[in-house]
């Protein structure tokens, strides 16, 4: 049974920035993206603050976000990485399966990776994610290095949008045709 310590309940800066970006995209009529909560069962609570201090996951989650961008169904997960190497153990098999089925249904799946040591935000296409995942499954590297990435998919904040993933999505769609 997986458990979640209270450290995880504080939320992440990346998640907060994505949520704010989603609000801006909604206000502008560009996208409707929802954060998918992970169902948990509390085990311990701090009675004074009424915060959960220990819980377990009721079921495996799918991805962090799902929604629609001007008629295009999208789903994505957000990951943070403190080094130049992204360990694929941070991506779970059930998430990869969900994203694969989502793509088969005509949707677009991707990862947003924040490399905190470089202060770099990256849009990882489903195609590239699967290239690294399949390499791992075939007995190869269990991670990928930043230098293996196409820096064209680096995201820069603009117009008040801190996580402009629609820029990455536009490039992703253009390369799929």
34, two tokens:
């929802």
> Are 62 and 75 spatial neighbours (Cβ–Cβ below 8 Å)?
yes
- Structure-token match 């249904």, residue found: 105
Nearest to 100 by CA among 68, 133, 122, 78: 133
77 is in an annotated binding site: yes
DSSP 76-95: EEEEEESSSEEEGGGS-HHH
- Total residues belonging to the chain: 177
119 is in an annotated binding site: no
Q: Report the Cα–Cα distance between both ends of the chain, in Å, rounded.
A: 43
89 is in an annotated binding site: no
69, two tokens:
């961008």
**Distance (Å, rounded) from C-alpha 94 to C-alpha 73?**
19
Numbers of helices and strands, H then E, in the chain: 4, 11
150 is in an annotated binding site: no
Binding site as annotated, residues: 62, 64, 77, 95
> What residue numbers does the annotated binding site for Mg(2+) cover?
62, 64, 77, 95
């Amino acid at each position: 049974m997986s458990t979640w310590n209270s450290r995880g309940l504080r939320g992440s800066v990346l998640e907060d920035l994505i949520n704010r970006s989603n609000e801006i995209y909604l206000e502008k009529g560009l996208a409707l993206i929802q954060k998918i909560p992970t169902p948990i069962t509390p085990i311990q609570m701090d009675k004074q603050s009424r915060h959960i201090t220990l819980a377990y996951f009721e079921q495996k989650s799918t991805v962090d976000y799902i929604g629609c961008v001007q008629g295009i169904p999208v789903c994505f997960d957000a990951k943070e990485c403190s080094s130049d190497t992204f360990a694929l153990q941070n991506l779970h098999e059930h998430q990869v399966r969900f994203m694969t089925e989502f793509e088969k249904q005509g949707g677009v799946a991707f990862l947003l990776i924040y490399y905190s040591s470089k202060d770099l935000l990256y849009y990882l296409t489903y195609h590239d994610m699967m290239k690294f995942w399949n390499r791992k499954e075939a007995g190869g590297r269990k991670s990928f290095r930043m230098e293996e990435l196409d820096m064209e998919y680096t995201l820069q904040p603009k117009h008040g949008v801190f996580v402009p993933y629609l820029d990455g999505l536009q490039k992703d769609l253009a390369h799929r045709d």
